[in-house]
Structure 1
Amino acid sequence: MTGPRQLEQLDREAARLAPGASEESALGRRVFVEGRGAVLTDLDGNQYIDLAAGTLTQSLGHCHPEVVAALAEQAARLWNVHDFATADRAGLCDLLADLLPEYLDTYSFFSTGAEVVEAALRTVQAVAEPGRNRVGALRYGFHGKTQGARMLVHWDIGNQAFAGNSVLGYSPYCYRCPLELAYPSCGVRCATLVRRHIAEKSNVSALVFEPVLGAAGVIVPPPGYWEQIADSCREHGVLLVADEVLTGGGRTGTFLAAERFGIEPDLVALSKGMASGFPFAVLAGRSDVLRHPQVGRAGSTASTYSNNPLGIAAARATLEVVRRDTLIEQVDVLGALLSEGLVELQAKHAVLGDVRGVGLLYGLEFVRDRDTREPAPEIAREVYLAALDLGLRTSIGGHIIRLAPPFTIDRDLLEEGIALLGRALERVTGAER
């Protein structure tokens, strides 16, 4: 339960703080004051295993000493000189060139996921051929809360509709197939329709997509989905723009999730895990796209906080640790352990309708009945809160709980976290079958 010091703090800020916090924050009502590795501490001294890794950002866990040192050193020297070159920027470019696929050889730096997605959209608009005035995206996708990012997925607010020039294709949501088909007998019909409605249209300039849809509940594509779509986009001149804000940096067991699914995007947006949760983002792309004369006009990659020395320092320190300690290989090892534990929990608890994921990114979909698959957000909320009370932090959204442990989590601590999740399920539902 939330302790007295936290309740006093929350009551104090409630008088002035606007509503609209995330569901997990509004439900959880915790005041965190410290993080070390995979463990958080709240204002009352309670500790939590953080299987949400911040906002699915803390690849190295909280306050990794090398990232802290890099930030502290940079903070003592220089914070902001617009987009002038600074001491670490060339080194970060070299590091990215080593970690990313060879064809993604040109980079620009920004501050947030939404900002880098907007930069990718500006790039697409700049290089698009006459007549190619539409952009494709996938249903259930999430690309940020700015207007261009919202436009991609037809996210309306209030009475204001802003579908813009976006055309939506079907996501590979096999558990809730909108076509009411079943894999593999479906022949991946969703991919066929994406090809027909987006890839093969002469007025579509690009397809913006998450290789694994994160906010939608970790929707992992089945074999055959991206193979069809990527090949068709390439054949018909449609740029592939991978939104890897969540997955980039090793989260799925390869530096880019696109690599895992055999996709070769023209542009990639990265952010969350690139700088251990410090605001920083990268747009990586093919040189013929990012060096196009219409893209490289003065100011096109500049903004107040883009290229800032603090973000560059945090990103360089983070990625150097990822490379030196071969943490991406560790993701697959720990991911196998996480998968095994979650499958065992699913077998015990009928409210777990689907468990899906890749690497260290998993989604648990809660249902009232496995046959009808009716979503059960109230059960997900109870499990989320029970887990918090037991000392486990996860990430909730609707009827889905997401897990994304740090790459550096100790094996025993990960097993303890899975066990705590099991206890939370038992506390809410009992050992159902």
Structure 2
Amino acid sequence: MTSEDIPGAPPQERRLVTEIPGPRSRELQRRRIGAVPPGVGSVLPVYVTEAGGGVVVDVDGNSLIDFGSGIAVTNVGNANPRVVERVRAQAGRFTHTCFMVTPYESYVAVCEALNRITPGDHEKRSFLVNSGAEAVENAVKIARHATGRPAVVVFDHGYHGRTLLTMTLTAKNMPYKHRFGPFAPEVYRMPLAYPYRWPTGPDDAGPEAAAQAVDQITKQIGAENVAAVVVEPIAGEGGFIEPAPGFLPRIAEFCRENGILFIADEVQTGFARTGDLFACEHEGVVPDLVATAKGIAGGLPLAGVTGRADVMDRIHPGGLGGTYGGNPLACEAALAVLEEIEDGGLVERARRIGDVMLPRLRALAERHPAIGDVRGRGAMIAVELVRPGTKDPDPGLTSDVARRCHEAGLLVLTAGTYGNVLRFLPPLVIPEHLLAEGLDVLEAAFRDATA
């Protein structure tokens, strides 16, 4: 695949003309320090002028291979022509009216699409908000209202956002929760079936973790007090942890048996990222409520909550909404994204990316005992780094490898409860040669970091 295959995208090549970051990026970083608080971090302080396909181009003319997709946002690329054209046309008509004041068709069309494509063939309703955190928070709000129950169950290693409630739902203290309390009440955390770290081994992780969760919910909370269970089908910020087989189906079954609403946080896993349209589909799990965001609108701020009609319709008029939720520009972008996923075969493309990456990463792990685990589905892949001969996390090596990748022109992200996971989220439209070259860069970074 060449740049000609990606209309509107910059040349699909890795190109280094300065050190990373270059002088113009460093100057912008000095300006940033005087204007933006340090609490707003950046993985790599290179300032972008253009991006698309599988590259990000900075102000110094460097072109970096993109294995981050804006944290799983630009699944269809950073400047997808369909997205650009629909947003440009909508901006010429109107940029805002507030759907709660005077509605418009594109909002309805996005909701109709979400109702159609999310798991399950039951009747559904959707409404739109701005961010993944807002979607998760509204899903919990709906569940509490619909059930009349207060308690919410979440899992170890989960990440759900930075608002008060979603920060409470999130498992990791630093940097997400540290000194930001007190937190919201009636939130309870259960063990996640983390195959690599489950004490009795990966084969037992699914049934044992599910049994523990059911037992703790029953004894410590009372199932009759639980409004919802909130879970990521693959834990994102926690380290791309794919729960062991059987875990999610058993939790969903327990919820059905006890009138608890199962909320799937598909914010990072949705819209073809994992090789299914939604990650829940992998084990046939049908949620009562689904929170979506990130990949939904090609980089424009949009998120959604989709749920069973009998649940969603219980909320009184005015109980849901928000001034910017379902902005018309973002709705047009979302409709373009959904067309691109279908017409571009991006579900299959995500699977192809996994088929390319996983064998090479497993071969890399055979050469480097610091790679304790290789995991993921589709284009949501990770390696977990440990001290050789142990399962002790090695965040230092993780940071070193990431730094070497960045300096060589490959944008990668870190993650994990222990800060020891390299995660890979290439755009689903990345050309094959850049995917291979990015893996070459990663291999060289490991070689140099462990020499």
Q: TM-score normalised by the shorter chain: which range applies?
A: over 0.9
Q: Which residue of 2 aligns with 1:47?
A: 63
Q: Structure 1 residue 33 and structure 2 residue 41: aligned? A: no
Q: Which residue of 2 aligns with 1:379?
A: 397
Q: Residues 153 and 168 of structure 1 are in contact (CA less than 8 Å); yes or no, is this contact kept in structure 2? A: no
* 1:3 to 1:159, Cα distance in 2 relative to 1, 3 A: closer
Provide the identity percentage. Answer: 33
Q: Structure 1 residue 139 and structure 2 residue 156: aligned? A: yes
* Partner SS for 2:403: helix
* Partner SS for 2:255: helix
Q: Structure 1 residue 13 and structure 2 residue 35: aligned? A: no
Amino acid at match of 1:358: R
* 1:428 to 1:240, Cα distance in 2 relative to 1, 3 A: same
Q: CA deviation at 1:67?
A: 0.5
Q: CA deviation at 1:153?
A: 3.8
Q: Structure 1 residue 192 and structure 2 residue 214: aligned? A: no
* Partner SS for 1:362: strand
Q: Structure 1 residue 150 and structure 2 residue 167: aligned? A: yes
Q: Residues 195 and 233 of structure 1 are in contact (CA less than 8 Å); yes or no, is this contact kept in structure 2? A: no
Q: Residues 195 and 228 of structure 1 are in contact (CA less than 8 Å); yes or no, is this contact kept in structure 2? A: no
Q: Which residue of 1 aligns with 2:450?
A: 429
Q: Distance in 2 between matches of 1:240 and 1:139?
A: 16
TM-score, length-scaled by structure 1: 0.93
Q: CA deviation at 1:104?
A: 5.8
Q: Per-residue displacement from partner, 1:251-297 (whole Å, max 9, x unpaired)?
A: 111111111122111000000000012100011111001111xx1x2
Q: CA deviation at 1:318?
A: 0.6
Q: Which residue of 1 aligns with 2:114?
A: 96
Q: CA deviation at 1:245?
A: 0.6
Q: Which residue of 1 aligns with 2:16?
A: none
Matches within 5 A, 1:207-222: 207-222=229-244
Q: CA deviation at 1:103?
A: 2.2
Q: Which residue of 2 aligns with 1:285?
A: 307
Amino acid at match of 1:33: T
| 1:204 pairs with one of 226, 234, 252 | 226
* Partner SS for 1:425: helix
Q: CA deviation at 1:163?
A: 5.2
Q: Which residue of 2 aligns with 1:251?
A: 273
Q: Distance in 2 between matches of 1:146 and 1:302?
A: 17
Amino acid at match of 2:359: E
* 1:90 to 1:202, Cα distance in 2 relative to 1, 3 A: closer
Q: Structure 1 residue 351 and structure 2 residue 370: aligned? A: yes
Q: Distance in 2 between matches of 1:194 and 1:270?
A: 25
Q: Residues 33 and 42 of structure 1 are in contact (CA less than 8 Å); yes or no, is this contact kept in structure 2? A: yes
Q: Structure 1 residue 390 and structure 2 residue 408: aligned? A: yes
Q: Structure 1 residue 86 and structure 2 residue 108: aligned? A: no
Matches within 5 A, 1:210-359: 210-292=232-314, 295=315, 297-359=316-378
| 1:364 pairs with one of 383, 389, 408 | 383
Q: Per-residue displacement from partner, 1:365-420 (whole Å, max 9, x unpaired)?
A: 11122x32111111111111111111110112322111011111122221111111
* Partner SS for 2:56: strand
Q: CA deviation at 1:107?
A: 0.6
* 1:137 to 1:46, Cα distance in 2 relative to 1, 3 A: same
* 1:424 to 1:94, Cα distance in 2 relative to 1, 3 A: same
Q: Per-residue displacement from partner, 1:136-180 (whole Å, max 9, x unpaired)?
A: 111111110001112224664417332510111111112222xx2
* 1:16 to 1:281, Cα distance in 2 relative to 1, 3 A: same
Q: Distance in 2 between matches of 1:366 and 1:184?
A: 21
Q: Distance in 1 between matches of 2:329 and 2:257?
A: 41
Q: Residues 115 and 126 of structure 2 are in contact (CA less than 8 Å); yes or no, is this contact kept in structure 1? A: no
Q: CA deviation at 1:344?
A: 1.4
Q: Which residue of 1 aligns with 2:134?
A: 115
Amino acid at match of 1:250: A
* 1:87 to 1:128, Cα distance in 2 relative to 1, 3 A: closer
Q: Residues 193 and 243 of structure 2 are in contact (CA less than 8 Å); yes or no, is this contact kept in structure 1? A: yes
* Partner SS for 2:224: coil
Q: CA deviation at 1:35?
A: 0.3
Q: Which residue of 1 aligns with 2:429?
A: 408
Q: Distance in 1 between matches of 2:385 and 2:355?
A: 22
Q: CA deviation at 1:197?
A: 2.2
Gapped regions of structure 2 (runs ≥ 5) = 1-19
Q: Residues 109 and 301 of structure 1 are in contact (CA less than 8 Å); yes or no, is this contact kept in structure 2? A: no
* Partner SS for 1:304: coil
Q: Distance in 2 between matches of 1:306 and 1:82?
A: 8
Q: Distance in 1 between matches of 2:83 and 2:346?
A: 15
Q: Per-residue displacement from partner, 1:230-262 (whole Å, max 9, x unpaired)?
A: 111111111100111111111111111111122
TM-score, length-scaled by structure 2: 0.89
Q: Distance in 2 between matches of 1:120 and 1:258?
A: 17
Q: Distance in 1 between matches of 2:33 and 2:133?
A: 27
Q: Residues 206 and 243 of structure 2 are in contact (CA less than 8 Å); yes or no, is this contact kept in structure 1? A: no
Q: Distance in 2 between matches of 1:45 and 1:223?
A: 45
Amino acid at match of 2:443: G
* Partner SS for 2:223: coil
Amino acid at match of 2:317: A
Q: Distance in 1 between matches of 2:380 and 2:239?
A: 10
- Give runs of ≥4 in structure 1 deviating > 3 Å: 153-157
Q: Distance in 1 between matches of 2:123 and 2:344?
A: 23
* Partner SS for 1:59: coil
Q: Distance in 2 between matches of 1:341 and 1:301?
A: 47
* 1:100 to 1:387, Cα distance in 2 relative to 1, 3 A: same
Q: Residues 111 and 127 of structure 2 are in contact (CA less than 8 Å); yes or no, is this contact kept in structure 1? A: no
Q: Per-residue displacement from partner, 1:43-66 (whole Å, max 9, x unpaired)?
A: 111111101111221111111111
